[in-house]
Amino acid sequence: MNKRILIPTSNISEGVEFFLRGAKKRRSMAIASIRQVNANMGINIRPVAVK
């Protein structure tokens, strides 16, 4: 019986990767929303997200 040993490509678990992907998506959606509101109001400020 040859058991295949899977070597992880990173030291971050799948659950944590899923959580981080969701956070990244929500942050990018929030920035896009801010830019749209600012454009509608005629404000040209570049919002910066704190990570």
- pLDDT at position 1 over 60: no
CB 45 within 8 A of CB 38: yes
Predicted TM-score (pTM) of the model is 0.59
Q: For tokens 């570049």, what's the residue? A: 46
What does pLDDT average to over the chain?
Answer: 82
pLDDT for 34 equals: 85
How far are the Cα atoms of 5, 17, 19, 23 from residue 31, in angstroms, in the given order?
42, 21, 19, 12
Mean pLDDT value of segment 15-37: 90
CA neighbor of 8 nearest in space, from 44, 16, 21: 16
CB 38 within 8 A of CB 47: yes
Mean pLDDT value of segment 5-13: 77
Q: Please report which confidence band the pLDDT of residue 47 belongs to, taking 50, 70 and 90 as the band edges.
A: low
Rounded to an integer, what distance in angstroms lies between the CA atom of residue 6 and that of residue 11? Answer: 13
